[in-house]
Structure 1
Amino acid sequence: MSIKVMLADDQAMVRGALAALLDLENDLQVVGEVGRGDEVVPQAVRAGPDVVLMDVEMPGLDGIAATAALKQRLPAVRVLVVTTFGRPGYLRRGLQAGADGFVVKDTPARELADAVRRVHQGLRVVDPALAADSLIAGESPLTEREAEVLRASLDGGTVADVARALFLSEGTVRNHLSSVIGKTGARIRAEAARIAVDNGWL
């Protein structure tokens, strides 16, 4: 019996390539594709996949939030996160959201198909280099509110802009940003944001 696979990736070419590769396998069948994170749950309800291959960076909802939403609605569906960005923080956050496996996009086709089978069997599959990086990097030092403030300031808005967007006082935003700068060892807010993004903390 075929393992039913759904693809969630915002790049149509990547989805097409993955679908073509997986369809070459006798025991794998692609039953659905979506290009946005907020389409994952509705499509999974319709298509009834066994395994969802989930990209991290998608419009509408990122892959980590989409994984959490999918696991809440359809807990039996297995999720294999497939990402271009091997950021250690993504691994930790993805597993916390309920992902069953984590591989990078340049994984060879045969290994990817094997990862789908193993996740379907109930095994956890994690790219070894990513696992090692994650252990070395450790957990995010940022509190949830600090991460929220830093995320809101990514587009370069002023402290006043961030305060307005998050309904906080400017003093509170400054305190959070100063704490973030201290924790990341950065000199300025933009550098702190880059460090946080590179580590997958945001």
Structure 2
Amino acid sequence: MRQRRGQPGRSAITPSSGPGAEPLVPRAGSERALDRPDPAVRVLCVDDHELLVDGLAARFGIDGVIGIVGWLPNAERLLDEVARVRPHVVLLDVEMPGPDAFEIADRLRHMFPHVRVVFLSAHVRDAYLAAAFNAGASGYFSKCDDLKVIAGAIRQIAGDGSSAPAAREFLMGPKVRARCIAAQPASTSRRPKAPRSADGQPKTRLATLSPREAEVLRLIGKGLSRTQIAAELSRSAKTVDGHQDRILRKLGIHTRSDLIRWAIREGFAEA
């Protein structure tokens, strides 16, 4: 469920501006940013919760290196605003009104190859993680992650802002990384690295499914029975049962009802 505007909800990032206070972040097109010292790392924030963005700006101000130079409530004007304020990093929410966040991130990397995109969202799904990587993003973080972790990642991704960023990395916050670590046996390392495929993409449980298994999961998420899925795919019910058994095993889920809930939570019912 989408949060109401200006209410970040359960998040490690809390707004510091009180009622009636002047926003800490300039809106798109505002010249107020020109009156402020130019930060070493310039961040353009795209999120439909203004108070949350003001909270980010206040916390980044403590950091002293990162500064939010602009804010957009959706991605409709993102490309124009990137050209205007010249950020090093675009901090982008996933679920907002307007253009698809992953499509706009892909366009951004082709039009402005030196600008890095970092997703910051309350929604952490395996499919979103894969879409962010495929769109060329440099990271994905949960709004529940500690701000020090997010700020450190932004500094690492942008460098000091004085030159083009290094070769692309894909950094993940603790909550996001845990989804990948859970896909493999527990590591004895104190700071385990998230498993990745040969191309560097984070390896989640969902990524272990075959295309046919993913299709069966999508139909399960839509509420179809085994016989309905068999008819939809022109396969026998026994074949569908085999796919379902493999899906359960790969995802670490024990019952079909739990699988349905998982599929709905991960957005398969919307596909």
- Same fold per superposition (TM over 0.5): yes
Could you tell me how far apart the structure 2 residues matched to 1:142 and 1:10 are?
34
CA distance in 2, matches of 1:140, 1:7: 34
Would you say 1:104 and 2:142 are equivalent positions?
Answer: yes
Q: In structure 2, which of residues 180, 201, 204 is the aligned counterpart of residue 131 of structure 1? A: 180
- Paired positions, count: 174
Letter in 1 for 2:232: S
Question: Highest CA radius of gyration, 1 or 2?
Answer: 2
Specify whether residues 141 and 67 from structure 1 end up closer, same or farther in structure 2 by C-alpha distance, changes over 3 A only: farther
Percent identical pairs in the alignment equals 23
How far does the alpha carbon of each residue in 1:114-172 deviate from its partner, in whole angstroms, 9 at most, with x for none? 011111134431132133355222167669xx8xxx9xxx9xxxxxxxxxxxxxxxxxx
Superposed CA offset, 1:12-60 (max 9, x none): 2222211221122211111111111222211111110001111111111
- 1: CA distance, partners of 2:263 / 2:155: 35
Q: Is the 8 A contact 2:47 2:96 kept in 1?
A: yes
Q: Which residue number corresponds to residue 157 of structure 1?
A: none
Name stretches of at least 5 consecutive residues in structure 1 with no aligned partner: 155-173, 186-190
DSSP-derived class of the 1:92 partner: helix
Greater share of helix residues, 1 or 2? 1
Q: 2:263 aligns with which of 170, 195, 198?
A: 195
Aligned to 1:80: 118
What residue number does 2:58 align with?
Answer: 20
Q: Distance in 1 between matches of 2:140 and 2:65?
A: 21
Amino acid at match of 1:104: S
Partner of 2:83: 45
- Structure 2 residue aligned with 1:66: 104
Please report the TM-score for the alignment, with normalisation by the length of structure 1: 0.70
Aligned-CA RMSD value: 3.5
Highest relative contact order (Cα 8 Å, sep 6+), 1 or 2? 1
Cα distance in 2 for partners of 1:138, 1:124 equals 16
- Distance in 1, matches of 2:106 and 2:121, equals 16
Distance, in Å, in 2 between the alignment partners of 1:140 and 1:56 is 24
Structure 2 spans left out of the alignment, 5+ residues:
1-38, 160-165, 183-202, 223-227, 234-239, 248-258
Q: TM-score, normalised by structure 2?
A: 0.54
